[in-house]
Structure 1
Amino acid sequence: MAGIPLDFLLFALVLLGVAVFHHHTLRVAFLGMVTIAAYKILLGDFAGTPGVAGFVQMLHHEWVTLGNLLGLLLGFALLADHFERSHATDMLPRVLPDDWKGGFFLLVMIAVISSFLDNIAAAMIGGAMAHVLYKGRVHVGYLAAIVAASNAGGAGSVVGDTTTTMLWIAGVRPGQVFEAYVGAGVAILFFGIVAARQQQAFQPIMKDNPKNVRLDYGRLAVVAFMLLAAISTNVFLNLRNPELLNEFPLIGIAVWVALLLTVPFRAPTWSLLPGALRGSIFLLSLVMCAAMMPVKALPAASWPTALGLGFVSAVFDNIPLTALALRQGGYDWGFLAYAVGFGGSMIWFGSSAGVALCNMYPEGRSVGAWLRGGWHVAVGYVLGFVALLVLVGWNPEGHAGSKPSAPSVESPAPVQSLPSPKP
């Protein structure tokens, strides 16, 4: 239609439906995914393979990503509850300033946590802390800032985000990704201050610790054990056997093994799983929609392209975007890590961390409210990108001139190419 493949138009309708019918996001995303799959099975193809065989081939490439996302979203939902029930968050008023600066330092803490944890875990822990500190009244703009802080913290660390881990596996050195923190730091300084003031005006931060609060060290131990399982599995396999990460959802499995081992010690709140599962199915449906888009390549590598990918990642899964960029080459990998890692924060479903946090705070599922309240995230993204250009400079393939070997990254069906719709 008008030169645009019908696949893209269908996906655009799905995204529009999610934005408009934010009380029915799961139904819209799932039915949209089924519709796109049926269309491609009957009338299209999957990376050149038509029919059911092509669909099965795509699932074979995608199942590891989907499995990891499902395991992490469900596991970290229970982890965040363990953390909140440990009463560790009740101790925060003792160490945080009792004005807007307390909210700002909380966002910085979330970014630091995300630098060595998965951004989903950082966002969930941050959401649990905010729930206590602000007595359950958290502004949508501050929710956007929590997601942005978790994504910014992971953007410069090869173990902080799935996309940066992909770069590491492909041969990008950790130092080449680390420069993303220049942009992330500037972005956090801007949106963090604005969001903290916004939240303080909406609901002031708790000034005093609740009385007679006792830390549940057992639940804190469970949280630590689950996080250690995720981190150690990720780092060990990346160093020793990275190909296994493309064959099995081992990080998600590690989180659940750790969780189940601790059940006799501290039982999780199993009743949280149905709600977390609905949010997970929503995100997996969008990932599947993106995987079925028939794009052959990204635009030519340049800093404007990298800037644009940040906006695209607000509506597309950033994993296939990263894989396409690796296959194409010619990028400054620090810029790319910042763009695809942070850009998804601009809309709540543009990041797995955003979807996870909105399972805790359903009011964040309104795209209009997210954009109105979280405008500072988009502005912060642009300011951070400009800071990278001015202070670091665009240097394709990294500052040491080494080029990652793209073939080492298994390209899921979306890697056949991801569409680049307008943000």
Structure 2
Amino acid sequence: MHPVSWSARICGIALLLFHLPALAAGEAYAPFGIPLDFVLFGATLLGVALFHRHTLQVALAGLAVITAYKLEVTGFPEGAGLAGLGLHLEHEAVGLVNLVGLLLGFAVLARHFEDSGVPDRLPRFLPDGWKGAFTLLAMIFVLSSFLDNIAAALIGGTVAASVYERKVHIGFLAAIVGAANAGGAGSVVGDTTTTMMWIAGVSPAELVRAFVPSAVALVIFGVPAALQQAGLATIRRQFAPHARIDWVRVAIVAFILLSAILTNVVANSRFQGLSDRFPFLGVAVWMALLLSAPVRPPEWKLLPEALKGTLFLISLVTAASMMPVEKLPPASWETALGLGFVSAAFDNIPLTALALAQGGYDWAMLAYAVGFGGSMIWFGSSAGVALSNLFPEARSVGAWLRHGWHVAVAYIGGFLALLFMLGWRAGS
């Protein structure tokens, strides 16, 4: 048995033994005034942060423990026992199916874009010196606005590894993740958290405001990160100058994205009642994928690995939906600012799910906070975890904080810019 597995089991057993008296009595327990639901949820997120190689197992185990506790002790928002669980899952089903469809669909979509040849042409537009490094970050920012932030970070990391011959500064790696997360914060197709808000009924136009703090943050962290990279290595000019663009694949990417956007607009404007009962968005993405498959076959072999990541996220989102949100701090700009720092240590997906269930947030401000805030630590966002697979040296919290200090400064600067320029706009 792997030692990490034993560590996870010991932690879980210790947690259950500590709370056994209350559980045996069938009473809700609140250590230090915190509902046990949140303690179990926090323990799950801590397990995800500590045991990176077993995140799916930790998430599934956490969901199982939380579900058992809700079944036996507190019940669900829709009722107690198995009947309450069934009603709760029925209530969450459409959102979860939409999320599964989008996550798997975007994994295939990202590979279409990578195979289009567009990433191979990007280095041709990079000037020399620190301006070239900053331009690369700006490109990642733009890519993430219409492509998943994980894909944007991976494309940016791949380009950086190529043009700098793998001599990439850790501060610049942090900036790549920051650019990917910042660019996705204002787009409903650029980040899983914004996609979740979109599915929940938040208008794409409302989230566009998040580009204001994201752009400010890009300048704040981008310049020092570019200077760090320029001081370490210069741009290599022997890249593939004759790389050709597959415009058919580019058209397929545009077709899939437009299908998703138009479907969401029509469903929420004309069939709002039905959109709560049928996963129009996820189905639209997959219909577009299947219709375009005869023209350029997708790489279906990506789906098994993508499914593991999807199950991990779905487990956390489902667990988050069971939390007693009426006991969360009231929605405010101070809470949103704090959630950004929390997202640096814990996954931003469940934080977003909790905020959506509670309501009342400025969704653009929250999208920026939980989207970009996770960039402050390498495992604080999916983009950071993905990029660390290309650059294992990034898997050091100390090095990330020491060399990527500008990301934390940029988070605060961007947040304050949004607050003072556009103010707090509470949503539903």
> Structure 1 length normalisation: TM-score?
0.77
Residues 344-393 of structure 1: per-residue CA shift (max 9 Å, x gap): 444566556667x469759599583765665443332111112233444x
Q: Which amino acid aligns with 1:165?
A: W
| Alignment partner of 1:6 out of 29, 33, 36 | 36
Q: Which amino acid aligns with 2:122?
A: L
Instruction: Check whether the contact 1:306–1:335 (CA below 8 A) recurs between aligned residues.
Output: yes
CA shift at 1:210, angstroms?
A: 0.9
Residues 98-154 of structure 1: per-residue CA shift (max 9 Å, x gap): 444333223323333444x36xx2441442243144239566655554443344334
In structure 2, the residue matched to 1:127 is 154
Unaligned runs of 5+ in 2: 1-30
SS of alignment partner, residue 2 of structure 1: helix
In structure 2, the residue matched to 1:81 is 111
Instruction: Check whether the contact 1:81–1:269 (CA below 8 A) recurs between aligned residues.
Output: yes
In structure 1, the residue matched to 2:266 is 236
In structure 2, the residue matched to 1:380 is 410
In structure 2, the residue matched to 1:94 is 124
SS of alignment partner, residue 372 of structure 2: helix
Alignment of 1:269-418 (within 5 A): 269-314=299-344, 315=346, 316=348, 317-324=350-357, 326=359, 329=360, 334-346=364-376, 357=386, 361=390, 363=392, 366=395, 368=397, 374-392=404-422, 394-397=423-426, 406=428
* Larger Rg computed on CA atoms: 2
Q: 1:380 to 1:95 in 2, by over 3 A?
A: same
Q: How many residues align?
A: 388
C-alpha separation in 2, matches of 1:253 and 1:353: 25
Q: 1:7 to 1:318 in 2, by over 3 A?
A: closer
In structure 2, the residue matched to 1:162 is 195
Q: 1:196 to 1:346 in 2, by over 3 A?
A: same
Q: Which amino acid aligns with 1:224?
A: A
Unaligned runs of 5+ in 1: 398-403, 407-423
C-alpha separation in 2, matches of 1:325 and 1:9: 18
SS of alignment partner, residue 296 of structure 1: helix
Instruction: Check whether the contact 1:84–1:128 (CA below 8 A) recurs between aligned residues.
Output: yes
C-alpha separation in 1, matches of 2:381 and 2:412: 18
CA shift at 1:313, angstroms?
A: 4.4
CA shift at 1:206, angstroms?
A: 4.5
Q: 1:182 to 1:69 in 2, by over 3 A?
A: same
SS of alignment partner, residue 268 of structure 1: coil
| Alignment partner of 2:178 out of 142, 148, 152 | 148
Q: Which amino acid aligns with 1:20?
A: L
CA shift at 1:25, angstroms?
A: 1.6
C-alpha separation in 1, matches of 2:239 and 2:281: 36
CA shift at 1:166, angstroms?
A: 6.5
CA shift at 1:84, angstroms?
A: 1.9
SS of alignment partner, residue 56 of structure 2: helix
| Alignment partner of 1:30 out of 37, 60, 76 | 60
Q: Which amino acid aligns with 2:210?
A: A
SS of alignment partner, residue 33 of structure 2: coil
C-alpha separation in 2, matches of 1:286 and 1:152: 23
C-alpha separation in 1, matches of 2:404 and 2:218: 13
C-alpha separation in 2, matches of 1:94 and 1:313: 35
C-alpha separation in 1, matches of 2:126 and 2:351: 34
Alignment of 1:111-122 (within 5 A): 111-115=141-145, 117=146, 121-122=148-149
Q: Which moved more, 1:317-326 or 1:215-224?
A: 317-326
SS of alignment partner, residue 83 of structure 1: helix
Q: Which amino acid aligns with 2:34?
A: I
Alignment of 1:130-209 (within 5 A): 130-135=157-162, 137=166, 142=172, 144-156=174-186, 161-162=194-195, 165=198, 169=201, 174=205, 177-198=207-228, 205-209=235-239
Q: 1:340 to 1:311 in 2, by over 3 A?
A: same
SS of alignment partner, residue 46 of structure 1: coil
C-alpha separation in 2, matches of 1:299 and 1:3: 13
**Greater RCO (Cα-Cα under 8 Å, separation 6 or more):** 1
> Structure 2 length normalisation: TM-score?
0.76
Q: Which amino acid aligns with 2:353?
A: P
Identity %, equivalent residues: 52
C-alpha separation in 2, matches of 1:269 and 1:203: 35
C-alpha separation in 1, matches of 2:289 and 2:339: 36
In structure 2, the residue matched to 1:72 is 102
C-alpha separation in 1, matches of 2:293 and 2:199: 32
- Over aligned residue pairs, what C-alpha RMSD do you find? 3.5
SS of alignment partner, residue 325 of structure 2: coil
Q: 1:336 to 1:85 in 2, by over 3 A?
A: closer
Q: 1:285 to 1:363 in 2, by over 3 A?
A: farther
C-alpha separation in 2, matches of 1:365 and 1:48: 44
Residues 274-321 of structure 1: per-residue CA shift (max 9 Å, x gap): 221111112222212222222314423443223123234453524434
CA shift at 1:78, angstroms?
A: 1.9
Q: 1:376 to 1:244 in 2, by over 3 A?
A: farther
CA shift at 1:336, angstroms?
A: 3.8
C-alpha separation in 1, matches of 2:142 and 2:425: 27
Residues 324-349 of structure 1: per-residue CA shift (max 9 Å, x gap): 453xx4x5555344334433444566
Q: 1:94 to 1:339 in 2, by over 3 A?
A: same
